[in-house]
Structures are given as C-alpha cells and as structure tokens.
Amino acid sequence: MTVKTTLSFTDRHHQFLREQVEKGIYATASASVAAAIEQMIQDEEARQVMLSALADEVRSRASTPREAYVAEDEAFAGVFADIEVAEEG
C-alpha cells in the first residue's frame, strides 16, 4: 500500500534528492526517501538486536558466581605484556 504525504526539505536536502534522481540512482525523489527510511528501519532493527544481546550478556555476567571471576591481572596479562614490548621497542 502506498500512502501519499507531504514532506518539507531544506534546500540542501532537496538538491541532493534531485541530483540522485538526475544521476539515475533513484527513479524518483520518493524512491530515494523510501530507501533512506528503509535503511533507518534496518539500522534500528540491528540496534535492537545488539542491545538485546548486550542485555543478555550483562544478565549472564551478573549471575556468574564470584568464585568464577577472573582476576584483573590475569585477565589483562597479555595486554600488559604487549604494552611493555611496544614501549621498549
């Protein structure tokens, strides 16, 4: 279903839309706007997936028993060693 609506653009945005149509990148300004909105939808869906995965990871780590924690020195030993090598080199 297609819905007709009225949109307002800055001169800069309008010029860009016109150029995209003139170059043949989009058939119409409406097609260009639709593509931009579709990209926004995809970006938002990806953001939601990432936020959900992050929340799951936080919940998982929060339920980790304290005795399973890894000491900071142990966790970052490789990084600290790499820094020392880089500083010496």
Q: With bands split at pLDDT 50, 70 and 90, how would you rate the model's confidence at 13?
A: very high
Distance in angstroms (rounded) separating the CA atoms of residues 20 and 73: 55
Phi, psi (degrees; rounded to nearest 5) at 6 = -110, 130
d(CA 55, CA 17): 39
Domain limits of the chain?
A: 11-88
Rounded to whole angstroms, the Cα distance separating 78 from 19 reads 52
- Are 30 and 38 in contact, with CB atoms under 8 Å apart? no
Provide the pLDDT for residue 16. Answer: 96
pLDDT at 89: 76
The pair of structure tokens assigned to 39 is: 């990209």
Note the pLDDT tens digit of each residue in 19-70.
999 999 999 999 999 999 999 999 999 999 999 999 999 999 899 998 888 8
